[in-house]
Structure 1
């Protein structure tokens, strides 16, 4: 496929970001914006870390735009910028090959077809416009047109034909999906299939069928089918984890085709940064959670989203004099250096914002994972239940509302079986600060 102007510009921009166009600044050990010291000694030589905004700068930016009820953001106007006017006399603007139609990689038409037309076909040979084996006149490949035409029947929605999907819509979880759709929340099903898998084929098959029926609705974007994978005591070996993830992925892709699949886990070693004793200890404590094991299902294409929990980052590294802020930085720089976002969407899981928290804590915890591009999304728990059954709930609504510019990157984790008021009222409130919702289901 020909390299269009659009792709060339995108490649140029990417090279500029990683410092290819300014190698002296990017690779200099004396560069004040270098963060190479946060990466381990085994980091490949081609991976270079450079701060786009230092931590204190990023926090200052967030507080500046969020101050006084977003006053600065409301008063801001678009930058004049520098644009090339292709209609001005003397201006020379290159054209993308094909003028945006024939042969353009962004065009819906195949090569050889003009807009609204069809490609030329060899004489007496069927050809396909959409890749489904139809002739150029819309008949099936190899068939003949007759003097009469049979109208194509309008397909009946799958949900109307499948009693399981219709029944699932009437369950509490199904009604929560309907309520989330009404307030324009993008929905993920958040469930746990590990115990069902260990219970045997019959139990696992029934659970997959139940979740598949819920997820088959068009408003559902994906299914997160396990949490704390490798951190809890459900599995004892890496082989067990691989077998479970493989079975769950295969079954769910068949039960709910087209839906994205996700897992939740912890990556203890990454927060150590370049501290080798810390990394060695974390590998000893959590042998199922080495970066290589976490990466394995991503490389295999078993999952489309990886959520990394932030719980260990607060106090888990005090023995190595790594505070929570440094642990955050270490983890997300390591994630970015490993290019996990190329293999799957990476999300941060934030459980520590329930109860009373300060505006600074909100800004730091929600901005840290995304400010350097390590995570594309932050999942925020809206309630936490302790061992005694007491439930703490998210209360920082005013602070969260100030983060409206990144609302689509924020997702709430919500259990409809334990509502604060009722599911409809709760989801309406959550939609004011979150763009997505993870509905916890049994």
Structure 2
């Protein structure tokens, strides 16, 4: 059975604590290898069963190997492979303690000097110790960043010494954002930096480079797991074309992977069409309203490996689909069924972005909104905004704390999106309270 069963058990345990039941249905396929008919009628849709060998096939296998007192098993031989019989005449095998690497009697690679690696002619590509390296004139020489640059192109990176990087990180740690990271680490959060680089990218190379350097210095700390570098991608008015979005994501991804190597990268967006389910009229209208948010366009940077995480907002799901007689619960369920069907979790980590838990929220709504994406096997975590300002300027804060505390079995899958520049009490106090419910934190930085 799929690994998502473990996730379902955690969600089920949490829901049992607060008495909420989420719907589940048997998963059926016209698959000759399916054993779903053996599952109970209340089995969730994401639990599937496949025969490795059907009962009659398993019996045949057992009879084959057990026949004639195991004669077939006795006659079986290993799969043909490259083996050396060290006991055979003329065989040469290393003995314990012998060096198996090149020694003083080993021939040197042709064209190499004593004790050194072979030199490559200009334009020639060579291999040293299993790693590709280019000729000294075109590929790796004169590359200040230490990265391979295609022939004919000028490296764009600027060499940065370790001392300079350490100084930048130390300076960043003293900023309000850096101090918030320190406080979040003390509260034992898994930390993401939540920032916006789209405006900096549009402002030009100089502004973009400065922003990347600032974020990279913050993210260099070991407490930081990743960087979410844009929000509402394709939904707001920042970009006018899909090509522009792709160019921005590619530039931001490349720059951040160099400025903050090893950190995960994420984006936040929304795909209105997914909530339509199978309603073609609804899907056509959503594509017309939001031409930059078609599923295949949002999927593109995932396929290209530009981002490691995608957060899908749920804000449009509540009240935007009544025209097609799709209520909020159906829209919510439709979205995650579509995400699971597209296997986006294979391409990147999928997170649900929940904005509706501020102000007065019914207890059952808290459980449903947080559990459905995870229970359906589509999302690996749920991000919850702790502060939302509506169109009239009214600020609402996260509520339903007692209910949230009952979801401790899935605490590690819950992340708070928090702006340290607008604390409810003060940053340290706010983070300590959030740590009672959430295992991860997205710290909003300018």
Q: Give the alignment's TM-score, normalised by structure 1.
A: 0.68
Structure 2 SS opposite 1:166:
helix
The aligned counterpart of 2:197 is 193
Q: Deviations over 1:252-272 (max 9, x none)?
A: 001000000000000111111
Choose which of 346, 363, 367 in structure 2 pairs with 1:363.
367
1:231–1:266 Cα contact (<8 Å) kept = yes
Distance 1:118 1:237, change over 3 A: farther
Q: Does 1:174 align with 2:178?
A: yes
What is the Cα deviation at residue 172 of structure 1? 0.3
Shift of 1:397: 1.1
Aligned match of 2:411 in 400, 407, 413?
407
Which residue of structure 2 aligns with residue 258 of structure 1? 262
Aligned twin of 1:206: 210
CA offset digits 1:94-139 (Å, max 9, x no partner): xxxxxxxxxxxxxxxxxxxxxxx9996246269xxxxxxxxxxxxx
2:235 aligned partner: 231
Equivalent in the alignment of 1:283:
287
Check if 1:292 corresponds to 2:288. no
1:41-62 CA-partner distances (Å, limit 9, x unpaired): xxxxxxxx93559xxxxxxxxx
**RMSD over equivalenced CA pairs, Å:** 3.3
> Which residue of 322, 325, 333 maps to 1:321?
325
1:358-390 per-residue CA deviation (whole Å, 9 max, x = no partner) reads: 210110000011101100000000011234443
1:56 alignment partner in structure 2: none
Distance 1:24 1:219, change over 3 A: closer
**Displacement of 1:338 after TM fit?**
0.6
Task: Provide the secondary structure at the position in 2 that maps to 1:162.
Answer: helix
Report the CA distance between 1:25 and its aligned residue.
4.2
* Partner SS for 2:225: strand
52 and 175 in structure 1: CA distance in 2 versus 1, 3 angstrom threshold: same
- Correspondence for 2:309: 305
- Find out whether 1:121 has 2:125 as its counterpart: no
Give the secondary-structure state (helix, strand or coil) at the position aligned to 1:289: coil
1:72 maps to none
**Structure having the higher Rg:** 2
Aligned residues: 326
- Aligned with residue 432 of structure 1, among 428, 433, 436: 436
Partner residue, 1:390: 394
Instruction: Tell me the CA shift for residue 164 of structure 1.
Output: 1.1
CA shift, 1:391, in A, is 1.7
Contact 1:159 1:165 in 2 (8 A): no
Q: CA, structure 1 residues 299+221, in 2 after alignment: closer, same or farther (shift >3 Å)? A: same
User: Displacement, 1:192?
Assistant: 0.5
The 1:387–1:265 alpha-carbon spacing in structure 2 relative to 1, beyond 3 Å, is same
* Cα distance in 1 between the residues matched to 2:302 and 2:230: 15
Contact 2:354-2:383 at 8 Å conserved across structures: yes
Deviation at 1:329, TM superposition (A): 1.1
**Cα distance in 1 for residues equivalent to 2:390 and 2:361:** 18
Matched residue, 2:154: none
Query: Where does 1:99-138 land on structure 2 (aligned, <5 Å)?
Result: 121-122=100-101, 124=103
| Partner residue in 2 for 1:96 | none
**Distance verdict in 2 for CA 1:18–1:210, change over 3 Å:** farther
1:51-66 counterparts in 2 under 5 A? Answer: 52=47
Q: 2:349 and 2:46 mapped to 1: Cα distance?
A: 22
Kept in 1, the 8 Å contact 2:165–2:217? The answer is no
Query: Does the C-alpha gap of structure 1 residues 159 and 272 become closer, same or farther in structure 2, counting only changes over 3 Å?
Result: farther
Q: Deviations over 1:176-217 (max 9, x none)?
A: 000000010010000000001001111111000000000010
- Report what 2:350 is aligned to: 346
Give yes or no for contact 2:229–2:267 (8 Å, CA) kept in 1: yes
Aligned counterparts of 2:202 and 2:364: Cα–Cα separation in 1: 43
Q: Given the alignment of the two structures, is residue 273 of structure 1 paired with residue 280 of structure 2, yes or no?
A: no
CA distance in 1, matches of 2:280, 2:262: 42
Summarize the Cα distance change of 1:221–1:159 in structure 2 as closer, same or farther, 3 Å threshold. farther
Given that residues 159 and 166 in structure 1 are in contact (C-alpha distance below 8 angstroms), is that contact kept between their aligned partners in structure 2?
A: no
Q: Distance in 2 between matches of 1:210 and 1:310?
A: 30
Counterparts of 1:166 and 1:189, CA distance in 2: 17
Given that 2:28 and 2:36 are in contact with CA atoms closer than 8 Å, whether structure 1 keeps it comes out as no
